[in-house]
Amino acid sequence: MKLLPLLLPLLLSALDAADGYAVYQKSCAACHIENISKAETLKRFNTLKAPPMPEVSSQLKHTVIIADDDEDVHREVVIAFIKHYIENPDIQYSMCNPMALERFGQMPSLKGKLNADEKQAVAEWIYDNYEGGTFE
């Protein structure tokens, strides 16, 4: 019973934490398809609104390179980039391949539409939900 006062704040903070998938569905899914193969993407390329999320995640994971090859550090750097880019998309810092930039243009800013917890949650979800390999 003595543990309850210690665990209660942790449980409440877990309940308050944003759900990355729910944030994706609310703020990203209208443009970025959640799951699609590369072959299907190529077939539907002219009807897509934005790069599919597997491509976004793969492109970020392959483009962000850190010196010591530490997976945890790499994860944190990519997550930080996503959180910043959500509000401050800039073609100069885009990591999309040139064909995607030509087709879709620059992502619109979501500034003021997501709070800090939501940005963190969706950035973690984007990194963790997709394998680090190539978009297949």
Burial tier of 86 (Cβ tally within 10 Å: 0-12, 13-18, 19+): buried
For the structural domain made of 19-129, what CATH number should be given? Answer: 1.10.760
Domain boundaries of the chain, sorted by first residue: 19-129
CB-CB contact of 121 with 73 (8 Å): no
The residue assigned the tokens 């398809």 is 33
Give the helix/strand (H/E) hosting 56: helix 53-63
Cα separation, 113 vs 1, whole angstroms: 41
pLDDT in tens, 75-105: 999 999 999 999 999 988 888 888 888 999 9
pLDDT in tens, 123-134: 999 999 987 555
Cα separation, 92 vs 56, whole angstroms: 16
Per-residue exposure over 46-64, b if at least 16 CB sit within 10 Å of its own CB, e if not: eebebbbbbbbbbbbbeee
Which carries the bigger pLDDT value, residue 98 or residue 29? 29
Residue whose C-alpha is closest to residue 50's, from 26, 27, 25, 33: 33
Which pLDDT score is estimated for 133? 52
**pLDDT bracket for residue 10 (50, 70, 90):** very low
Cα separation, 29 vs 56, whole angstroms: 13
Which pLDDT score is estimated for 14? 44
